[in-house]
Structure 1
Amino acid sequence: MKFVKIALAATVFALSATSAFAHGGGLDGNGCHTNHKTGGYHCH
């Protein structure tokens, strides 16, 4: 049972960590960019 809890915790951690990575490319000098589909501007 302890192994199942550890495996589940590791899976949740791995999935949440991958969604938190910022994407690269197309950033201005401030580390920001415009989303051309929505017109929004955000920074990383």
Structure 2
Amino acid sequence: MAAAIIACATGAFAHSGGTDANGCHTNHKTGAYHCH
């Protein structure tokens, strides 16, 4: 169930990956850490 919620939440972004408490995350393809 949690995986389905995460999958839906990440679909809103142009790239995959959830955000941390600061609204940031690491792009696993490039290794870049950025915020939204």
Give the TM-score normalised by the residue count of structure 2. 0.53
How far 1:28 sits from its partner (Å)? 0.1
Query: How big is the alpha-carbon RMSD for the aligned residues of Structure 1 and Structure 2?
Result: 1.7
Percent identity between matched residues is 82
Give the TM-score normalised by the residue count of structure 1. 0.44
1:5-24 Cα distance to aligned partner (Å, 9 max, x none): xxxxxxxxxxxxxxxxx71x
| Unaligned ranges ≥5, structure 1 | 1-21
Query: Per residue, is there more helix in 1 or in 2?
Result: 1
Q: Establish whether residue 29 from structure 1 lines up as the match of residue 21 from structure 2.
A: yes
Tell me which stretches of 4 or more aligned residues in structure 1 moved more than 3 Å: none
| Unaligned ranges ≥5, structure 2 | 1-11
Q: How many residues are matched?
A: 22
Greater relative CO (CA pairs within 8 A, separation 6+): 2
